Chains A and B, each alone.
Chain A
Amino acid sequence: MNQEVTLRRQWIATGVAVVASAAVIAIAATGARSEPPATPEQSTAVVSVSDAACGSGAGARSAGPVTFTLRNDSKWPTEVYLVKQPGLGTLFRSVILGPGVSLNERAVLGPGSYSFQCLQGGQVRSISLPFAVTGEVSSDDTPAIKQASSGELQQSNNLYLRYASQTLGTMAPQLRGLTAALASGNLASARLYWLDARQTWAGLGAAYGSFGDAGDNIQGVRNPALAPANDPAFTGLGRIEYGLYHRDSAQALKEAAVKLDKDVAALAGQLRTLPLVPGSLPLRAHEILEDTLRDTLSGQDDQGAGMAFAITSADVLATRATVADLAGPLESRRPGITATINTTLDAVNTALAPLHRNNSWITLADATPSQRRSVNAAVSSALEALADIPQLLALPQGSE
């Protein structure tokens, strides 16, 4: 079979069919099988996943921590969910178990009724009879999270695409300003227009790779083995930044700006109809600021402007937009989560406040260690809160 490798960051669905039938899912039979723990310190059960019966072996039990050894006795790669009934949600999702493979999953069961669900190719194939759990738990029982569906996330995707095309629309006049400033050789003005456009681009939440080649051309991705000046594939905002801060000729940069303008217009034309990978928006919700921390606040990304904090503030806007677009699905699973997240994002803005006046920003290099730490603290603490989003909204494997 044609092995389709899906990179996590890919956002646009490719032409390749994404729904695979159980029979054609490639099995990575590693031979390494999980052994049951040597010293079980809590209740355990071996649960068989077979063609005839999903979850046989899970009998009534008392509340508390339990380790289930899931063993795939079927012929098909199978994903196993432990769900709370009736329809209350999922406690855990296994990885896709190849035939003959077993693995351990743990949960703390509160009182109630539970079933195992067996999925193949992202579709529920069978459900076990419910088993009863009685008694009380002293520690927190594992929450049951309602399973997300691609239909539900599609609405969020639509909201996002509307936001994205509006945002991209504001880039056109900024790029015209940039081109005009370069045409007249006014580098100071060009730098201001460049920053506006760079922030708009960040506000899209379009960090690396999310719009494929079109996005890369706009962002400007450097070949690490080449000097920027000798790297013809290094284009867009990154290349113009490099030139603006490394004494390139305004004329050469003007050509780059004209091309950038065209690339942006091309993406804007496609944006509303882009087939987004259904489960990508929840990933994006935390990855925008992951990129901020990794690439921007580290300074790795910088091509000379030192505008890490300005870009961070735009990244916060993009994150807010994504979280807002996902608010419905998120709040129905964990009420209050968007407010919690927004509080952490507010803290990033508070940390950024002393670093700029309007759109005039202190450079990363000029910031004191303590100023940088305040921003890092706020961004990384927001990331801890954002990290739950992809988990809360994860789609069945094979249905993404």
Chain B
Amino acid sequence: MSPESIPSRRRDFLRGALTTGTAAAAAAAIAAAAPPAHAVGATAAFPFEGEHQAGVYLPAKPQAASTFAVFALTATDKAGLKALLQAVTDRVRILTAGGTPTPAGSGAPPADSGVLGPAMPSDGLTVTVGLGHGAFDSRFGLASMKPQGLGPLRIFPDDVADPAWLGGDVLLQICANSPDTVHHALRDITRHTRAWIQPQWQINGFVSPPRPSGTPRNLFGYKDGIANPSEPDGLVWITPGSGQPEWAVGGTFIVVRLIRMLVEFWDRVSVNEQNTMIGRRRDSGAPLDGSLERDTPQYAKDPNGVVIPLAAHIRLANPRTPASDGTRLLRRGYNYVLGQDPTGNQNVGLIFACYQANIQKQFEAVQERLAGEPMTDYIQAFGGQYFIGLPGVTGNGFLGAGLFS
């Protein structure tokens, strides 16, 4: 990190004199995410088939309910991994389409749990499947197919890593309009795949309704998910010639980072300080140099960070310079609530999920810029994993088919 960008943390005794970095004006496009028709409601359905998996750019706005269920592979060979991916594909196809389950008849228990009633609605369900680096270890003979840069989640200096929440071989990111639909899908998929995967960690998340309008808020009270690269920006999907294995083209790297938010501490801080830590206003979501949520921050006009401090979260995360343009990533965060901790504080935070074509050039680059940011004192990253989100499925194929051809 260059010395002039050392952020000022609240707890630093010595505030470094922040000198200017000349930030070029960047025309960073904010994805104007208009909701698609029928995004909400029991009949909302997102097609399973496609060049890319759903749950990344589709639907444009994340569904209200989610789970990030991470599994260890208990399959012991390549055939087992293939059988797993075929079974998962079958179930996701059926679940996302919705409809009345085929009756099992008198020789078997019911085909479906019935949690969604006799005719299961699609309810905006998407299931996004990823593989961790463990799928490419010696067990499955796929080492030569391992995507570049796919390793264990990197642990950063201020993290409070908890092994119980780290690692995993298979990600099922299940999102839907309501929690029962998420639960139903997870229960159905695990029922059909028990021999090959076993749960390692799981966390449920939610996206709040707009309060009162615009982008939903996270548990710090801030609108979260405003600025994201749009799909045509080409920063998310793995493309041919990117150095990644052929089979991964059309996929994306999924970084899941579990970040606790110390909300009691945060609530004891003035809103002005909160605003300068984020770089946006808590009430409107507008950047501090603008008045509307959708206004683009103009860092070039404020090179000294008088209005939006140089160490503000949004400024560090995306300085909007030509050099930083390629480091942008797609964020789809979910709030989580896990009860309370031994100190009497709420155990709540953000399931930070981001999608990019390159983990090191995007996620890690952003995270490195954020090192030591003022907000650091109020958050603690404790878990997560890196995954390769598989390419989409067209025709009668199955997820990850390219690994076996």
Contacts and interface: CB of A to CB of B under 8 A. Distances in A.
Contacts of A153: none
B107 A108 contact: no
Contact of B105 (A91, A104, A344, A381): A91
A107 B74 CA distance: 35
B25 interface: no
A394 B99 contact: no
Contact of B74 (A106, A374, A392): A374
B103 interface: yes
Contact of B107 (A37, A42, A104, A333): A333
B198 A91 contact: no
Interface in B62-83: 72, 74
A378 interface: yes
B164 to A, nearest CB: 9
B103 A373 contact: no
A380 B105 contact: no
Interface stretch (A15-23, A116-124, A311-319, A383-391): A383-391
A139 interface: yes
A327 to B, nearest CB: 16
Which among B103, B105, B119, B200 has the highest number of chain A CB atoms within 10 Å?
B105
Contact of B118 (A37, A65, A91, A384): A37
B105 A377 contact: no
B108 A108 contact: no
Nearest to A89: B106
Given A378-B195, A384-B194, A142 B74 contact: no
A376 B198 contact: yes
Given A41-B119, A377-B194, A107 B72 contact: no
Interface of A: 37, 39, 41-42, 65, 89-93, 104, 106-108, 139-140, 142-145, 333-334, 344, 347, 369-370, 373-374, 376-378, 380-381, 383-384, 387-388, 391-392, 394
A365 to B, nearest CB: 16
Contacts of B197: 377
Interface in B203-227: none
A369 B106 CA distance: 37
A334 B107 CA distance: 9
B100 interface: yes
B243 interface: no
A106 B107 contact: no
Contacts of A383: 194
Given A108-B102, A143-B105, A37 B119 contact: yes
Given A106-B100, A381-B194, A90 B106 contact: yes
Contacts of A380: 194
Nearest to A334: B107
12 contacts: A41-B100, A65-B103, A91-B105, A369-B200, A376-B74, A376-B198, A384-B191, A384-B194, A387-B108, A388-B107, A388-B108, A392-B108
Q: Which 6 A-B pairs have the closest CB atoms?
A: A381-B195, A377-B74, A142-B105, A373-B198, A145-B107, A381-B194
Contacts of B198: 373-374, 376-377
Contacts of A140: 102
Contact of A145 (B72, B102, B105, B196): B105
A387 B192 CA distance: 13
A391 B106 contact: yes
Interface of B: 72, 74, 99-100, 102-109, 118-119, 191, 194-198, 200
Contacts of B99: 41
A380 B192 CA distance: 11
A interface secondary structure, majority? mixed
A307 B195 CA distance: 23
A144 B105 CA distance: 8
Contacts of B118: 37, 104
A42 B108 CA distance: 22
Given A91-B105, A142-B105, A369-B200, 4 more contacts: A347-B195, A381-B195, A391-B107, A392-B108
B103 A106 contact: yes
Nearest to A372: B198
Nearest to A390: B109
B106 A92 contact: yes
Given A104-B118, A381-B195, A373 B107 contact: no
Contacts of A388: 107-109
Contacts of A378: 74, 195
Nearest to A388: B108
Nearest to B199: A373
B103 A92 contact: yes
A264 B240 CA distance: 71
Nearest to A380: B194
A92 B107 CA distance: 9
A108 B118 CA distance: 15
A89 to B, nearest CB: 8
Contact of A370 (B72, B102, B107): B72
A91 B118 CA distance: 18
B100 A145 contact: no
Contact of B106 (A108, A373, A384, A394): A394
Contacts of B194: 377, 380-381, 383-384
A145 B106 CA distance: 7
A333 B85 CA distance: 30
A107 B105 contact: yes
Contacts of B119: 37, 39, 41
A15 B102 CA distance: 41
Given A370-B72, A377-B74, A92 B100 contact: no
Nearest to A83: B106
